[in-house]
Amino acid sequence: MATTIKDIAKMCGVGVSTVSRAITGHPDINPATREKIMKVVEETGFVPNASARSLKQSESNNVALIVKGIANPFFTRMIHVLEDSIEKKGCATILRHVASNQDEVHIAAGLAAERKLKGIIFLGGNFTHDGMQLKNLGVPYVFSTIGMDSDGKDPVIANVSVDDVEAAKMATSYLIESGHRRIGLIAEGIDVPSVGQLRYRGYCEAFKEHGLEIDHRLITQVSDGEEHYTMENGYKAAKILLRTVPDLSAIFCFSDVLAMGACRAITDHGKKIPEDVSVVGFDGIEDAKYFIPRLTTIRQPVDEIARETIDMLFGMIEGKTPGRRVLMQAQLVLGESTANGPFRR
């Protein structure tokens, strides 16, 4: 049987409450007694049972991190930074990874009831949710890098992200102004309220603003596998584009990972990057800087987004500041994967 606080108490010849005080660092205790107890605790390797502890305590210091699409390196980095920040706030992170067909809010609700969460951070997934369900969470939550619709009628209010519409428009406009017209799109989730939808809108707006028509044969969507943002999916989509659109001169991908897969497909197709086909990614992950060719991409300011997310969440937890929508500045980073297109040569 595992050692309990009772055993420790017996060993030290004191009461359980004294042991509890020693462990929790309570001030009302004789330093000598504490020393004695802590020594035994060390020796036995005793760790208080977390269940009993959190059962007794009305509040925990758990922050849940609900991630949809954990394989995406962009999130890996985000998770890393967020975990660090949460720890610095003296809290523990419960990392939960949800499949693309699961409802993240439902899962969060379960976790909140189970674990008495202090707050929730959603990473990835949709930005539209059932208001009732969100209310039911009963704890502060922030949507991070999930995008949001600009109409503002959404019940989700705590939200940190780049302006996905603007960012995608920036990428597409850059390609158009570089002389590209036949710009393929490797998209994801344009039919659901996600960043995919927003970025798709940005793509369309860029065309419209330049007085150009959109050819729907240029648009592909990935949806294979449980994870959508994979190199394999980017590879497959690019293959299709290359086969069906002979005069393709550029591809805009909704993530760097997709872009890398696309690059490989272009190379395999016997074409050169960027001479024959330009590629633009999205996210600005570390890998993009080392990929050959270095990717031209839209950089999301990970560290700033993480910091803002944490600040907002803990502001809400402490009741100081309400949740709000914060747009961070995305940035076009020029790499080696883009060059002028046919109309600028």
Binding window for DNA (CB under 7 A); candidates: 3-11, 89-97, 103-111, 265-273: 3-11
Instruction: Assess 118 for contact with DNA (CB under 7 A).
Output: no
Contact residue for its own copies among 86, 263, 310, 312 (CB under 8 A): 263
Q: Output the six-digit token pair for 174.
A: 């850059």
CA separation for the pair 185, 233 (Å, rounded): 13
Query: For DNA, which is the closer residue by CB, 106 or 115?
Result: 115
Written as six digits, the tokens of 66 are 């609900």
Residue 328 in tokens: 């961070």
Closest CB to its own copies among residues 34, 116:
116
CA distances from 326 to 105, 124, 144, 312 (A): 21, 16, 10, 9
Identify the H or E element spanning 98: strand 92-98
Touching DNA, residues 52-91 (CB under 7 A)? 52-53, 55-57
Contact (Cβ atoms closer than 8 angstroms) between residue 186 and residue 238: yes
- From 74-82, 176-184, 239-247, 301-309, span contacting its own copies (CB under 8 A): 74-82
Q: Tell me which of its own copies, DNA, none is bound by residue 23, counting a contact when its beta carbon lies within the kind-specific cut-off of 5 to 8 angstroms.
A: DNA
Q: How far apart (Å, rounded) are the C-alpha atoms in residues 279 and 293?
A: 10
User: Residue 26 touches which of DNA, its own copies, none (CB < 5 to 8 A by kind)?
Assistant: DNA
| 3-state SS class at 96 | strand
Binding segment toward DNA, per CB under 7 A, in 47-55, 155-163, 179-187, 311-319? 47-55
Compare residues 230 and 278 and give the one whose CB is closer to its own copies.
230
342, 249 in Cβ contact below 8 A? yes
Of the residues 4, 61, 100, 267, which one makes contact with DNA according to CB under 7 A: 4
User: Of its own copies, DNA, none, which one sits near residue 17, judging by CB under 5 to 8 A according to partner kind?
Assistant: DNA
* Interface mask toward its own copies for 80-109; x: CB under 8 A: x--x-----------x-x-----------x
Distance (Å, rounded) from C-alpha 256 to C-alpha 276? 19
Pick 56 or 88: Cβ nearer DNA: 56
Closest CA relative to residue 110, chosen from 93, 100, 96: 96
Closer Cβ to its own copies, 67 or 316, answer by number: 67
For residue 11, state whether it binds DNA (rule: CB under 7 A): no
In the chain, what is the straight-line distance between the N-terminal and C-terminal CA atoms, in Å? Answer: 77
Any contact of residue 44 with DNA (CB under 7 A)? no
* Helix intervals (H) in the chain: 5-12, 16-24, 31-44, 50-56, 73-88, 104-115, 131-137, 164-177, 195-209, 231-244, 256-268, 286-290, 302-317
Report the 10 Å Cβ neighbour count for 304. Answer: 15
Applying CB under 8 A, which residues contact its own copies? Answer: 2-3, 45-55, 70-71, 73, 76-77, 80, 83, 95, 97, 109-110, 113-116, 133, 136, 138, 230-232, 235, 260-261, 263-264, 267, 286-287, 289-294
Residues contributing to the site for DNA (CB under 7 A): 1-2, 4-6, 13-18, 20-21, 23-24, 26, 28-30, 32-33, 48-49, 52-53, 55-57
